[in-house]
Amino acid sequence: MRLEEYWGVGPKTRETLVAELGRERATRAIESGDVRELATAGLARGRATRILRRATGGDGIDMLATSDARAAYKDLLDLAVEHAVTQRAADRIRVLTPLATRAEMESRLDDVLAARDAWAALDEGNRETVLAAYERYDDRDESERAAVETALALLEAGVDSGPFATIAELDPETLAAAADALSAFENDGGSGRLVRGADDELDRLCDALGTVEDMDANALELIEELRSDGVRDVSQFREAFEDHLLSETAVTVEQVRDAMPADATDATDFVGGTLRTLRGDLTAAIDEREERVAGEFRNVLEDSRAAIDQAVEAVDDIALHLSLARFALAYDCTRPTFVEGESAAVSVVEARNLTLASPVTDAKRTEVEETVQPITYALGDHGVTDPAAVPGSTDTAPGRQRVSVLTGANSGGKTTLLETLCQVVLLASMGLPVPAERAEVTPVDSLVFHRRHASFNAGVLESTLRSIVPPLSSSADGRTLMLVDEFEAITEPGSAADLLHGLVTLTVDRDALGVFVTHLADDLEPLPPEARVDGIFAEGLNPELELLVDYQPRFDTVGRSTPEFIVSRLVANADDRGERAGFETLGEAVGNDVIQRTLADARWSE
């Protein structure tokens, strides 16, 4: 495949990659999803990530039909990246995309959940050992040597189940020999010169050569030093020079005597000739020794090549699955159930919004205070049929309508519910566990997520309709999910109600799934019988005058906005007399008796 055939690789990018990496290496980096390699070649990291999402994820990225869906997808990846054990694992997480088939989703779920269970079973000491091994692996740029040493560290930690099983298959002695051989060379993979410490004899010869070279550079000073010790005749000078060489270097007597010239005319010629010959002899001996030792190490690497390659692949894959496992554990995520065929559903039981939830660290899997109210919600042919499964004040289970209109209190969590459903569907589509006690998901071809945008002009309306209608109108098999938040915010209420009614009707006609958040429920009547209206209710103010909301929707019930609660809080908190009078005027508009009762209830609850 030519580089230009990859999405996002134009002529300039191709030239950059070929110049820096070469065509084959660049292709390999794209196919393997190597963000670091492309970034090293000069591509911006964000651009490299976008190219690799398309190259490794295929058409899965096309599921994200709107900019808000793409933003939610990136937010999820950012949360997962926080639990990555290596930079390479973080890069691989960033290029994960929705998968094309249920088999792919199930396969990745198997790997991640096996890693989650294996990680959860480790004690804190072994977890620290594994994380320390991966930290060293990251610090050494994930080289072959670092991978082999990480594999050895994992073996020593005794982790051999789940994702670690591939490491347990390796022979420790083979890996240890490979680690020694890899560490003997300057460059990763067994290339370059041998490093100091690779061979004692080679180190001895190199030390000797260095000393001889220093002597040669200071030959005149050496001659004067020998003469100052009382050396007078040639025989004494020769003997003193020989003793000096033997005491200062690691050369042998034979090497020294063989190097001494027989025809030197004076002391300078004698010393210089001896040192030059020693330099040549030692250099030749070093080259010969290094070639032989390097050959022995390369033979070890050749014999260990299969184990090295397996260690590199296993350590890298474990890092990815372990990172995703830590993410799943931190947010107490579970395996979703996929609903396919004629049925279609999106349901969650006690789901939590990841943007609001606080992750639990690896070190403390203890009970923590729940700061996010779990939500149960369902669309389509779901299995949430028992009202007891629904928390909060509702006593009914959700109907099996594929489309709902969600109404209710300001700041009541309607947008958060949309985001939660979006997160669950995205995670499940990527083959990842979801933040819910139970979840059912139909893999969709198009996810239309539209957040509320406070812009009121024809351009915004047109661009929004161009964004959310085509994925819905082109779907013929119900594999579209519509999550639309306060559509009325981008046009006048009358037109907004008409357009929103049309969107709900189109969603029903296309057998798609959808949740539409709005304050215009009354203006949408009559809705198609295949759609229902759900509501979220505020229950008053607490003693701190904060809004009390039951975030669990009540099914087949129209929720109401709660301006009286908001105005009550403004009245109570107003310090300025004129300001307070203004809020009291608004209170009369919404019902002064309601305002007074709300404040009295708040004081009574204190």
Residue 599: its pLDDT value, please?
57
Are 436 and 334 a contacting pair, CB within 8 Å? yes
User: Is the pLDDT assigned to residue 558 strictly greater than 90?
Assistant: no
pLDDT of residue 363: 46
Residues β-bridged to residue 405: 516, 533
Q: Minimal CA–CA distance to 534: which of 521, 545, 525, 523?
A: 521
- Give whichever of 78-82, 88-92, 137-141, 201-205 has the largest mean pLDDT: 78-82
What does the pLDDT average to over 488-515? 86
Confidence check: pLDDT of 188 > 90: no
pLDDT in tens, 410-458: 777 889 999 999 999 999 999 999 999 999 999 999 999 998 765 555 5
Q: Which comes out higher in pLDDT, residue 584 or 64?
A: 64
Residue 224 or 562, more confident: 224
In this model, does residue 511 exceed pLDDT 70? yes
What's the whole-number average pLDDT of the chain? 84
Instruction: Indicate if the pLDDT at residue 235 is higher than 80.
Output: no
Average pLDDT over residues 457-473: 80
Q: How confident is the model at residue 340 (pLDDT cuts 50, 70, 90)?
A: confident
Region 56-62 average pLDDT: 76
Write down the pLDDT at residue 457.
Answer: 57
Q: Looking up tokens 């199930």, which residue turns up? A: 106
Report the amino acid identity of residue 367: E
When pLDDT is cut at 50, 70 and 90, the band that residue 368 belongs to is: very low
pLDDT given at position 208: 86
Tokens of 367: 């009970």
pTM (global) more than 0.75: yes
DSSP-assigned letters across all residues of 19-49: HHH-HHHHHHHHHTT-HHHHHHTT--HHHHH
Radius of gyration of the chain (CA): 36
Q: Could you give all domains of the chain from N- to C-terminal order, each with its CATH number? A: 101-331 (no CATH), 336-560 (3.40.50.300), 562-605 (no CATH)
User: Do residues 210 and 330 touch, judged by C-beta distance below 8 A?
Assistant: no
Q: Do 34 and 90 meet the contact criterion of CB atoms below 8 Å apart?
A: no
- Among the residue ranges 8-17, 215-224, 437-446, 597-606, the one predicted with the least confidence is 597-606
Question: Is there a contact between 37 and 72 (Cβ–Cβ < 8 Å)?
Answer: no
Rounded to 5, what percent of the chain is helix, strand, coil? Answer: 60, 10, 30
Average pLDDT over residues 13-37: 85
* pLDDT of 365 above 50: no
| pLDDT at residue 337 is higher than 60 | yes
Q: Which residues, 6+ apart, have CB-to-CB distance to 466 below 8 Å?
A: none
Answer with the residue of higher pLDDT: 53 or 78.
Answer: 78
At residue 582 the predicted structure's pLDDT band, cuts being 50, 70 and 90, is confident
Q: Is the pLDDT assigned to residue 396 strictly greater than 90?
A: no
Residues facing residue 537 across a β-bridge:
550
Please check whether residue 534 is in contact with residue 553, taking contact to mean a CB–CB distance below 8 angstroms: yes
> Does pLDDT of 3 surpass 50?
yes
Flag the least confident range among 230-244, 374-388, 420-434. Answer: 230-244
* Cis peptide bond upstream of 526, omega within 30: yes
Residue 83, pLDDT above cutoff 90: yes
Lowest mean pLDDT of 15-24, 120-129, 532-541, name the range.
532-541
Sign of CA dihedral 151, 154, 160, 161: negative
CB 335 within 8 A of CB 113: yes
State which of 83-97, 158-172, 484-498 shows the largest mean pLDDT: 83-97
Task: With cut-offs at 50, 70 and 90, classify the pLDDT of residue 569.
Answer: low
Which residues sit opposite 338 in a β-bridge?
Answer: 441
Q: What angle separates helix 234-248 from helix 267-330, to the nearest 10 degrees?
A: 0
pLDDT at 393: 56
Would you say the C-alpha torsion 418, 423, 428, 429 has a positive or negative sign? Answer: positive
Q: Rounded mean pLDDT of 466-486?
A: 83
Please say if the pLDDT value at position 593 is more than 70.
Answer: no
297, two tokens: 């190490």
Question: Could you please report the per-residue DSSP string of 421-459?
Answer: HHHHHHHHHTT--BSSSEEEE---SEEEEE------SHH
> Which is more confident, 462 or 146?
146
Query: At residue 62, does pLDDT exceed 60?
Result: yes
Residue listed under structure tokens 């090295």: 308
Q: Determine the number of helices (DSSP H) and then strands (DSSP E) in the chain.
A: 22, 12
Give the integer Cα–Cα distance in Å for 10 and 519.
47
Contact 426, 65 (CB under 8 A): no
Count the neighbouring beta carbons within 10 Å of the beta carbon of residue 61: 17
For 449, phi then psi, to 5°, come to -110, 125
